[in-house]
Amino acid sequence: MAKQEDDFKRVISHAKEYGYVFQSSEIYDGLSAVYDYAQNGAELKKNIRDYWWKAMVQLNDNIVGIDAAIFMHPTTWKASGHVDAFNDPMIDNKDSKKRYRADVLVEDYVAKIEAKIEKEVAKAEKRFGDKFDKEQFLATNQRVIDYQEQARSILSRLAKSLEKEDLSDVKKLIEELEIACPMSGSRNWTDVKQFNLMFGTKLGASAESAMDLYLRPETAQGIFVNFLNVQKTSRMKIPFGIAQTGKAFRNEIVARQFIFRMREFEQMEMQFFIKPGTQMEWYETWKENRMKWHLSLGLGEDNYRFHDHEKLAHYADAAADIEFRFPFGFKELEGIHSRTDFDLGNHEKYSGKKLQYFDPETRESYVPYVLETSIGLDRMFLAVFSNSLQEEELENGTFRTVLKLPPVLAPTKAAIFPLLKKDGLPELAQEIVDDLKWDFNVLYDEKDAVGRRYRRQDANGTPFCITVDHQSLEDQTVTIRHRDSMEQERVAIADVKRIIHEQVDMKTWLQKIQ
């Protein structure tokens, strides 16, 4: 646990030191769970957003993208169920006065049991070496079986109590498990209560005429209310999808863990409109498609897993998360939800407008079912950033900090250095910058010894460093140094663009999905 905490602290301080993420309004001591993306962070975030958009919208001829407003008519949220059901169960510790999500307290307890299982696996792996069969071990080791059963029965009881809105049983579970407040260590809990997560605001100048509005808690509703407009104007036939990226807002009770759980965050969502009855097929297809997208970035297959929901959201008939191994353990990164006709059906009911699709082949009209993929851009950022940050021991016994971002996502693709600040080297380096900047984000750096400049760019996540020296003036070649292998090669200046392009081109990366 202490190592996890240290690793996570390192991620947060690196994000600040290298201009990725800052606390919002830091000069006023910050605003809880609100963050700003700095010069490198904004680029990384944009690159992740583009990578998603290209995979979802550009490469699928049956998916189109939109950009709906954050403010929506307030009845939207009545129809979507968010006014009545978008709640989290909260509990306060009477001694520390800290507020927690009751379900998260129980889930954290279960995460500790899962950590024990992982520890047993690691021990056995060490003992048996090459002969170790993980699956067999998990199925036969009595201690592990007991842990698994304990975790399963706790989660299933929690899911049942939440499903039945039996909040007193959630409290009972916390008491039976003897869960203590992480701050005070005490077990002096209040009752569990529901808490609505939407932020309210007002539209209009005078108090009497102002209309109550909400900041959208998900981008999806902007897609639902536009479904028929988009279908008609794009002449799409079912099955087809509508995608969008944009801000969402939730008054989270527990907003720790840096950009993992924020009060203002960005989602990348896609609603896929399908014929009723085909939802399970599409559910499996989109689970597979989305996992392939993640794996294409090369963050490691072992770092992902599916988690099927025991407690379904108010709109879903099946749901799974793609979980990622964050520095604090496996947690939800993306949700894949079969939303039935819940949203479109309710918008029909509340608006009194038909939201039906006319099938030209069967000549029938129906309210489509919806399969949704929903990923948090900030969570994806944290997954990429934390996974890429590494401390490496070098051959000479020293250490380097390197941010091994997938080159396709790196904010700066190349840094160009003159070896010395004289003899015409800066001028040639600047010429290379001026040529490359039309294709890539590049930077010029002439400060400090080259070794230090390499280290700076390693920590910044820049995949290539290009050094201009005296030989460059004679034969128009430079050295190109690769961030991950630290290998250097001498190449013609004329080839630099091609070499970078091969490594950072989205096409090369996304072709792995097909």
In angstroms, what CA-CA distances link 452 with 59, 246, 354, 462, 513?
A: 41, 38, 64, 14, 37
User: Which residue bears the tokens 């009194």?
Assistant: 352
Report in angstroms how near the CB of residue 157 gets to ligand GAP at its nearest. Answer: 22
CB of 221 closer than 8 Å to CB of 372: no
Question: Helical H runs in 338-449?
Answer: 342-351, 377-388, 425-436
d(CA 63, CA 55): 10
d(CA 227, CA 268): 17
* CB-nearer residue toward ligand GAP: 14 or 250: 250
User: Which residue bears the tokens 């790196």?
Assistant: 410
* CB-nearer residue toward ligand GAP: 103 or 269: 269
| Binding to ligand GAP in span 352-371, by CB under 6 A | none
Report in angstroms how near the CB of residue 360 gets to ligand GAP at its nearest. Answer: 30
88 sits near ligand GAP (criterion: CB under 6 A): no
* CB-nearer residue toward ligand GAP: 214 or 454: 214
* CB-nearer residue toward ligand GAP: 262 or 442: 262
d(CA 18, CA 483): 16
How crowded is residue 160: how many other Cβ atoms within 10 Å of its Cβ?
Answer: 13
Q: What is the largest CA-CA distance in the chain?
A: 80
d(CA 35, CA 420): 39
User: Which residue bears the tokens 């490691």?
Assistant: 300
| Binding to ligand GAP in span 171-230, by CB under 6 A | 218, 220
* CB-nearer residue toward ligand GAP: 335 or 418: 335
The secondary structure element, H or E, covering residue 134 is helix 134-140
Binding mask 256-295 for ligand GAP (x = CB under 6 A): -----xx--x-x-x--------------------------
**Amino acid (1-letter code) at residue 242:** I
246 sits near ligand GAP (criterion: CB under 6 A): no
* CB-nearer residue toward ligand GAP: 45 or 250: 250
The secondary structure element, H or E, covering residue 238 is none
Nearest to 463 by CA among 510, 390, 409, 401: 409
Which range binds ligand GAP by CB under 6 A, 38-46, 116-124, 200-208, 328-336? 328-336
265 carries a ligand binding annotation? yes
Q: Applying CB under 6 A, what is the total number of residues that bind ligand GAP? A: 19
Contacts of 256 (CB under 8 A, 6+ apart): 33
Report in angstroms how near the CB of residue 198 gets to ligand GAP at its nearest. Answer: 12
* CB-nearer residue toward ligand GAP: 22 or 440: 22
Token readout for 305 is 């897993």
Report in angstroms how near the CB of residue 295 gets to ligand GAP at its nearest. Answer: 17
374 sits near ligand GAP (criterion: CB under 6 A): yes
92 sits near ligand GAP (criterion: CB under 6 A): no
In angstroms, what CA-CA distances link 440 with 307, 348, 368, 484?
A: 38, 47, 42, 19
332 carries a ligand binding annotation? yes
Using the 8-state DSSP alphabet, how is residue 302 labeled?
A: G
Report in angstroms how near the CB of residue 384 gets to ligand GAP at its nearest. Answer: 13
Which range binds ligand GAP by CB under 6 A, 64-72, 332-340, 484-492, 494-502? 332-340
Report in angstroms how near the CB of residue 41 gets to ligand GAP at its nearest. Answer: 15
* CB-nearer residue toward ligand GAP: 378 or 445: 378
**Amino acid (1-letter code) at residue 149:** E
Out of 246, 327, 376, 461, the only residue in the binding site for ligand GAP (CB under 6 A) is 376
Out of 89, 222, 335, 461, the only residue in the binding site for ligand GAP (CB under 6 A) is 335
Report in angstroms how near the CB of residue 182 gets to ligand GAP at its nearest. Answer: 19
341 sits near ligand GAP (criterion: CB under 6 A): no
User: Which residue bears the tokens 């010395």?
Assistant: 420
Nearest to 482 by CA among 447, 457, 508, 505: 457
343 sits near ligand GAP (criterion: CB under 6 A): no
Out of 103, 334, 445, 469, the only residue in the binding site for ligand GAP (CB under 6 A) is 334
Token readout for 465 is 């460093």
The secondary structure element, H or E, covering residue 161 is helix 142-163
Using the 8-state DSSP alphabet, how is residue 360 labeled?
A: T
| Binding to ligand GAP in span 413-472, by CB under 6 A | none
d(CA 477, CA 462): 21
Report in angstroms how near the CB of residue 336 gets to ligand GAP at its nearest. Answer: 9
Binding site: what residues are annotated?
Answer: 101, 218, 250-252, 260-269, 332-333, 372-379
Binding site for substrate: what residues are annotated?
Answer: 101, 218, 265-269, 372-376
Which residues of the shown chain bind ligand GAP in the complex (CB under 6 A)?
218, 220, 250, 252, 261-262, 265, 267, 269, 332-335, 372, 374-376, 378-379
Binding site for ATP: what residues are annotated?
Answer: 250-252, 260-265, 332-333, 376-379
